Amino acid sequence: MKKILVFCISLMAVIGLAACSEEGSSDGELTIGISLPSATHGWMGALIDDAETQAKELKESEGINYVITNADDPNSQANDVDDLISQGVDAIVMLPIESAALSPVGQKVADEGIPLVIVDRELENDAATVVVKGDNEGIGVNAGEYFVEQLGGQGKIVEITGPPSSVTEQRGAGFQEAIEKEPGMEIVASQNGDFSTETSLEVMQNILQAQPEIDAVFTQDDGMALGVIQAINEAGRDDIQFVTGAGGAKEVFESIQNGGLVSATFLYPPSQVKEGVKIAADLASGKEAEEDLVIIEATQVTKDNVEDYYDPDSKF
C-alpha cells in the first residue's frame, strides 16, 4: 500500500532544514540529473530557481554533483533524459512537459535501475520511484466548492485548463466533481490556456466574443488567471463576478488583497521541487524512500487569509 504524506506549506521550510542536515555522501562522486521544462518567469521559472538552489545546497553540504537540463518540448526533454542516462547519473528528477509523451523515457530510466523522482505532473506508468506533487484533485474540488458557494449553485462558468497532463486532468476532474451536484452550474466553455498568461489572454478573448453571459472563470493556474483578467478588462466586460487561480503567485495575492477580479487561489508552490531534489539525493546515496507519494495540501487563499501567505519579496 502506498503511504501518502501530506505536507502543509507552513511546515515545508522546517522539514527542508531537517532533511538537509541528514548524513549523506561527501565524496563528490554522486550526481543527480534534473530534467525540467524551460521558463524564465512565473511558476515554472520559480521552480527552476528552487531546483538549482536546492541542488547547490546539496553540493555544498554533501558533495553531491548535479546536472540541470531545460527543454522546450517533450521530444527535447526525452533526449535530455537519454543524455542523463548516458552520463551515468545516480538519480533523476523530472518534471514532465507532457505526461504521456514522457512516460516511455521514464520507463527507460526505471529499466536502467536509476531512481526516478517525478515532480508535479505524473507519468502514465509506474516508472517513478517517488512522486512529489501538489493536491491537484483537491485544487479542483476546493475551487468547485468555492464556485458553488459564491454563485449560490447557479452560474455560467468558463474553464481555462492546462495542456494534456495529469495536473490538468486531476484539477478538471475535481472541479467537475464539486459542481456536478448543482444542476444550475454550467460550464459554457472549456479551453486549453497552456499554463501561459499570453495563451490564456488570446483564448479568453475568443471566449468573450462567443459567450455573451459569463458569471465566473475557473483557471487551473495563476499565470492563466492573469491573462484572463487582462482579456476581461480589455473587453470591458462587467458581468463576470470573479476569477480563481492556482499556485500562489504574488501578483494574484495582490489582486485578492485589493479586491480585484481574482478573488481566490489554491496553493501549489513551486518549492515542491526542493523536496524532490532532496529525495533524489537520498536515493542516489543508497537510502530507501520512506514514501512513494508526497502530496502538498491545496490550501484555499482568499481575502480572509491572504496576508498569511503574501511575500512581497517572492520571485513568484
Encode pLDDT of 101-154 as tens digits. 999 999 999 999 999 999 988 899 999 999 998 899 999 999 999 999 999 999
Residue 175 located in a structural domain: yes
Amino acid 312: pLDDT: 82
Amino acid 290: pLDDT: 87
Amino acid 23: pLDDT: 35
Q: Give the residues of the chain that fall short of pLDDT 70.
A: 1-28
Amino acid 58: pLDDT: 93
Task: Give the number of other Cβ atoms within 10 Å of residue 238's Cβ.
Answer: 7
Amino acid 289: pLDDT: 87
What's the rounded Cα separation, in Å, for the pair 158 and 161? 10
Amino acid 20: pLDDT: 34
* CATH code of the domain in which 101 resides: 3.40.50.2300
Asked if 109 and 187 sit in the same domain, the reply is no
Asked if 215 and 286 sit in the same domain, the reply is no
**Domain region containing 283:** 4-134+270-298
* Alpha carbon 160 to chain centroid, angstroms: 15
Give the three-class secondary structure for 157. Answer: strand
Asked if 201 and 256 sit in the same domain, the reply is yes
Residue 183 located in a structural domain: yes
Asked if 108 and 205 sit in the same domain, the reply is no
Residue 304 located in a structural domain: no
Asked if 230 and 275 sit in the same domain, the reply is no
Pair 6, 187: CB distance under 8 Å: no
Asked if 143 and 42 sit in the same domain, the reply is no
Asked if 141 and 232 sit in the same domain, the reply is yes
Asked if 156 and 120 sit in the same domain, the reply is no
Asked if 54 and 145 sit in the same domain, the reply is no
Cα-based torsion angle of the residue sequence 133, 190, 265, 194 in order, rounded to the nearest 10 degrees: 60
Amino acid 1: pLDDT: 38
Pair 281, 62: CB distance under 8 Å: yes
Return the ∠ at Cα 43 (arms to 38 and 49), rounded to 5°. Answer: 65
Asked if 129 and 275 sit in the same domain, the reply is yes
- Where b means 16+ CB within 10 Å and e means fewer, 139-160 reads bbbbbbbbbbebbeeebbbbbb
Give the three-class secondary structure for 202. Answer: helix
Residue 310 located in a structural domain: no
Instruction: Look up the pTM and report it.
Output: 0.70
Number of domains in the chain: 2
Residue 311 located in a structural domain: no
